[in-house]
Structure 1
């Protein structure tokens, strides 16, 4: 079969790479198939079909139906396997993708029970392996990436497939890229060509979708209160009022992301945003802007808005303040405004909800003289939807620049914590509780220090590392010695690039001789492991299991007693009472017949604590059992705000604060994770780390700060006029009764007792007196983590 392999390549022009705009050959379509999910796509005679296994070991099952409602695998040049059992199970598992496929099958009148299954990939398949087929006629193709719930001690997580279709009769390459399908049945659906603006009415409660069809295109948006217009008053979104009430420069979904009039009437709120980068308070482009650049008469958004708003009696203005969706502006060190290409990709959108009856106006910006629209103005699609529709709040998340956008997810424990709070914030693609009603961060903090609390840590990234060379892979990619890690043991380690900068910190769980689980803070670490396995030709697989393993942490002096009441362990596994620090056990709820979990004695609070990992389908049961058992001990829910206080006191580092890819483990305060003497094997970054350790420049230290002012991350640390470091994290410690901080300073000023000053304002006009201290500030011997309480 002579089929040309298909894969995306990043767009490149004269040395400028844009991985966020992957390019496919003309006539090729790309359709992701989620792990445990399915996809249905129309096929025409002669189409070439390729299915790629993204992470390895993932089976594919296909069924092809002809227009006469019959199914025969031979029409794809394959041998049929009969009834598509895996596909039928996948469609019945209640996923969103399965519901769409079932709807497509019902509309076409196809009976999946009569499908002739084609099975491909799976057995030993490597990341990037592909199966190829050619359609001998028209029809409907259904593809599934089958896989059931992964048990916590298992490592068979279903993962993504990618379906590529090279059309035998591709569309005209000059034809416009059209917008994606609507989110629901739209009330209004219209296209705005570049250099145009359209005004439209929206009723209270209805939704407005502003969609960038081809990517890198800005759209100005303004909304007026219909109630005020009926009284002859113009009351539109006011930048100053909105910024003052929200305390934020950029929009994001949530109850607080609203836009207000000068009379403090809320007009719209953001519900979904797949781009994440907009200008909130700038003017729509104006005639004066182009005139000052030497382009008199250039079409502009403000004049376009004036023309169409005149239908509603709105007076014209020289420049309209607006929400500049997809406009990528920034401030430099002198507070000058600059711009660059938008972040938006083809199909990116913002979804708003009207909080009053509105007159709205949207534009497709015509700017072609700067990077505002990537030098190439394109079209904008506007859709409105009924108030009865239900759309979850979401901020688009991508694992990498090339990855597909993902909606913000609710963890499996979300509803359990939602019983106690409405204060959720987005964290790494998930909604997590920030604080709890009737508690608050200080009360939650003291609950952990004095009693016990439970928190949601499900967004931690989990990757299953398996295969004969799994140990060799991890030995090369992390700083700790994997050869000394026993089955059932957990180790905290760093992962570095060749230059010694950190990719992530995390823990490795050893589940068997060739079975490991990496748990880190970001997807970059898991993708790096997979990349290294392929680059080194190792017989190892790295598959994401984040969506198959959600976890809560129970932290505090009573955590052992609470868990011991809930979980049973088999004779070959340690009991909760026996479990040592940084070990794991496989347990069940109640007895041998109960729900399975993995429990490790780990945490992020500086207290005795445990993490409980379960499949999402079992999360509510696990939470309720732990909550009930914890009642007599005063078990309290814990949010991110309190957790941040606890980890600073305990000297525990956080990505983006204590480390990034320019920071080595010593500069991040975790040099103990790099055993250069005892680990004899080479690992990525070793040579650079040996050099950095021999000639250190910066060191992470603790600070005690006089007075009650808490510095901000990024505040400079100075001796006289010279900057010698910066603050990475700071807080007022409730238990110590003073302001403490973590920060990086030059090694020449890193000795305990060194007196320094923390600069604020411009770093010179306001100083906070500080002294360098050892850290952790609280419980430096980690007696509490070991379970030793007074």
Structure 2
């Protein structure tokens, strides 16, 4: 067996007694005190996440924007320094290489934050299509990435810096942000993966443990808790935020996954997969990702088959009992002609077909 990778924060997991699992080749905490407790803390106060396993790829050079316009589905020309954008890379058939966030650090200088398990594949894909006047470098080892998410996130983080965090709007970021009693400075972005307000912080690895400890100390009185991958998944699921390998994959297009807002087929650049995605946008995709809520008693788990009139029409991509809503719900990729709200479908749970209905998403929106 290959040895699992560990982030610089791993000693803090061991010290706290967190339960760890293999996640895309990384030994990561699935929970610290319990998934439901960590989920609730993020929804009501704040959660602290180590997401240092994510990859960072630097793209720069005189033709960096033109290069990224060819590789990414969103319109990179709309970015200016200190702005970020959610986007995808696609194959010629419209399937998804990865979903990611692109940060414009300066003119013709961008940082792509990619999924951990796709880091090598994404870097290879970019290198394969690289043009003259562009440099592509994997700089993941230069960063620890922490996320502070929840309604008290700004209050907690503001205690530790003189930078005005309230001035950072959604999908904007500041660079060279200092924190008291923490070495170096950080990129602080108002982004996240929970459906709550919050920040993602990129800082040099040597300062990662300092920042983690300081955040837990400063945030204790406001209810900040460390959060593992278990609650990260239930939080993002309730907010209908895609997980690569489940809602997106080489076989699932962004249009099928309901992410057409990040696919700008009207932009002039002829990006990879554009024609297929334009056709799906204009004429509708063959399948659609929908929310389902169980009517019969049962939980719709990932990969469970979905039926209508005894005919298989798709499968569940993610499902669980929602900690916030206390309902058994799921996301399912099904044939488009069944993807209307209120449509009755059946989920195969073991040997039984249990009744469910198509419902709106996201399941949860912060007030």
Deviation at 1:695, TM superposition (A): 4.5
After TM superposition, which residue ranges in structure 1, 4 or more long, deviate above 6 angstroms? none
2:51 is aligned with 1:432: no
Q: Cα RMSD between the aligned structures?
A: 1.5
Cross-structure match for 1:150: none
Asked whether the equivalents of residues 606 and 647 of structure 1 are also in contact (C-alpha less than 8 Å), the reply is yes
Segments of structure 2 that go 5 or more residues without pairing to the other structure are: none
Partners in 1 of 2:330 and 2:250 — Cα distance?
22
Cross-structure match for 2:225: 636
Which of these residues, 269, 284, 291, is aligned with residue 681 of structure 1? 269
Partners in 2 of 1:705 and 1:495 — Cα distance?
33
2:180 is aligned with 1:590: yes
Partners in 1 of 2:220 and 2:252 — Cα distance?
43
Deviation at 1:501, TM superposition (A): 0.5
Cross-structure match for 1:770: 356
Deviation at 1:672, TM superposition (A): 1.2
Cross-structure match for 1:560: 154
Cross-structure match for 2:66: 472
Q: What are the within-5 Å matches in structure 2 for residues 308-387 of structure 1?
A: none
Which of these residues, 237, 252, 257, is aligned with residue 663 of structure 1? 252
1:265-285 deviation digits (Å, cap 9, x = unpaired) = xxxxxxxx13xxxxxxxxxxx
Cross-structure match for 1:516: 110
Structure number having the greater helix percentage: 2
* TM-score calculated relative to the size of structure 1: 0.45
Asked whether the equivalents of residues 19 and 29 of structure 2 are also in contact (C-alpha less than 8 Å), the reply is yes
Partners in 2 of 1:680 and 1:640 — Cα distance?
39
Cross-structure match for 1:525: 122
Deviation at 1:669, TM superposition (A): 2.2
Q: What are the within-5 Å matches in structure 2 for residues 7-406 of structure 1?
A: 273-274=1-2, 394=3
Asked whether the equivalents of residues 301 and 330 of structure 2 are also in contact (C-alpha less than 8 Å), the reply is no
Q: Say which SS state the counterpart of residue 88 (structure 2) adopts.
A: strand
Cross-structure match for 2:7: 411
Cross-structure match for 1:444: 38
Which of these residues, 420, 430, 433, is aligned with residue 16 of structure 2? 420
Q: Say which SS state the counterpart of residue 132 (structure 2) adopts.
A: coil
* TM-score calculated relative to the size of structure 2: 0.95
Deviation at 1:656, TM superposition (A): 1.2
Partners in 1 of 2:149 and 2:6 — Cα distance?
22
1:476-526 deviation digits (Å, cap 9, x = unpaired) = 100011111111001001110111110000100000001100011112222
Which of these residues, 539, 547, 571, is aligned with residue 133 of structure 2? 539
Deviation at 1:675, TM superposition (A): 2.0
Partners in 1 of 2:227 and 2:315 — Cα distance?
29
Which of these residues, 724, 729, 733, is aligned with residue 313 of structure 2? 724
Deviation at 1:670, TM superposition (A): 1.1
Deviation at 1:594, TM superposition (A): 5.3
Q: Which structure has more RCO (C-alpha within 8 Å, separation ≥ 6)?
A: 2
Cross-structure match for 2:328: 739
Partners in 2 of 1:504 and 1:700 — Cα distance?
17
Cross-structure match for 1:22: none
Number of equivalences: 362
Summarize the Cα distance change of 1:422–1:444 in structure 2 as closer, same or farther, 3 Å threshold.
closer
**Structure with bigger gyration radius:** 1
Deviation at 1:760, TM superposition (A): 3.0
